[in-house]
Amino acid sequence: MLSPRSLMTSMVLGICIQPIFSAPITNPVGPPGASGSLYGTETLLGAGGNPVSSVDSAVVPTSSYDLVAGQTSDTDYGFYLDFDSTANPQPIRGSQGASDPGPRNYNYDKINSDLFAPPGTDSGDFPNAKWPMGLSHNRLGLSGAGWARQQNDAVLPAATAMAGVDMRLSPNAYRELHWHSANEWSYIMNGSVQVQAVNENGQTFIDDLNAGDVWFFPAGVPHSIQALEQGVEFLLVFDQGSFSEEDTNLASELFLRNPTAVLAKDLKTDVSAFDALPTGELYIFPGTPAPASISAQNVTGPAGAIPTEQTYSYHLSQQAPYTVPGGSIKILDPTTFPIASMFSVALVTVAPGAMRELHWHLNSDEWSFFLQGSARITVFAAPESSRTFDFQAGDVAYIPVPQSHYIENTGTEDVMYLEILQAPKFTDISVAQWLGLTPPQVVKDTLHLPDAVIASLPKYKQYLVPGSTNATETNFTVAA
């Protein structure tokens, strides 16, 4: 209720004051053919009971779905559940869970079975450790020249120390001349490429690289990347969790954002030389074919070429792998690639049924990228949290230091992935080796393991352990 004084004031000023709580307009003027009301009435407010519908049931008939192998087993066994083998997967494990009447995305449920029906050993809350590059926005290059998509802490908040970019260049296309505020490490996934750079001393570098090879450019070092005639796709990893491709320093923008008179003075020419500058950034754009001989591109000045011991590339494709039961591993760190001073990487191949052994890292988070196959990872964080995530080719995994984890092959083909650390040397702590090198009495008093198990613990690092392609196998005892 307005006071007389307020009412008089509103009349003098010609203000029409509406009640604060006016009734909604239930029948607005709408388009031709509109009918009904936007709102219900107060008679729908809940009180005193409501007739229960006998039609809208949340019960899913058991005849409409099948449980997969291992789904009725003890939840703590935590078998991988292959939901690809059923049309209507359900969030049931052992005696836990219940059917899901929907709505739901069946494809997500199938490829994330350990989130949909988690092992009984998963516990507590846990940050997301997975990002599929397939969910990243794809920035398209000019005139069919390629594309790029990225993962950073905007989409995977736990990834505070590293970020990644998946980039594709069509034959002869360029990632234009540029430089970054972060260090750049790259692995070539497909095709071939020519990379070139100039360091702060005026020394130059150029190399042709193939699938499986690596390059590294320190922060601030300008460089160019051009696909050769096969085209190229490569992975870029940066040592900043917040890195964004959108913040790259580009040569085209450098010239567009400075006065042409200044540019003319700097390059000792006339301003007319800049009449044909691009009107915007090029980013990824078509190019002319590189000369057949790399020597034609090898430009050097008085400072010469970058010394071999500080070269920006490494031909990892030619490195023989270290083979163990269950797969193989290649390690590349500053021991053999000195310029990449804080990038330590393992290229791991895990056979079907095998796994990268339980381990953790001492002084770096782990950023991993899956190149092939399907796998799962359980991450444990003190004091009592753990979560299991499923991964496919094109997915990023991020595991903060010093959380323990394994990588288990859950498919029928080899899993290949990159395990990347920000560390001067690739190191880890193997759980099996740790226990094998601990006095047996201490292990027995702590974990109550049988004497035969303690006696069989390895005193060496396994890296990988073989397994069985039978997803419900429980006995992995090795015959003497």
Active site residues: 419
Q: Which residue from 325, 323, 373, 328 is spatially nearest to 476, judged by alpha carbons? A: 325
Q: Which residue from 334, 479, 352, 360 is spatially nearest to 419, judged by alpha carbons? A: 360
Three-class secondary structure of residue 479 per DSSP: coil
Whether 406 and 356 have beta carbons less than 8 Å apart is answered as: yes
Cβ neighbours, 10 Å, residue 99:
16
User: Which class for 424: exposed (0-12), middle (13-18), buried (19 or more C-beta within 10 A)?
Assistant: middle
Cβ neighbours, 10 Å, residue 408:
19
Interatomic CA distance for residues 161 and 163, integer angstroms: 7
Cβ neighbours, 10 Å, residue 256:
16
Residue with tokens 């066994």: 77
User: Which class for 176: exposed (0-12), middle (13-18), buried (19 or more C-beta within 10 A)?
Assistant: buried
Interatomic CA distance for residues 356 and 371, integer angstroms: 15
Interatomic CA distance for residues 14 and 148, integer angstroms: 60
Whether 250 and 177 have beta carbons less than 8 Å apart is answered as: yes
φ, ψ dihedrals at 142, nearest 5°: -75, 140
CA angle, 234 as apex, 334 and 140 as ends, to 5°?
A: 140
Interatomic CA distance for residues 116 and 89, integer angstroms: 9
Strands (E), 163-311: 163-169, 174-179, 184-198, 204-210, 214-217, 223-238, 249-250, 284-285
How distant, in Å, are the alpha carbons of 37, 130, 374, 376 from that of 407? 55, 13, 10, 6
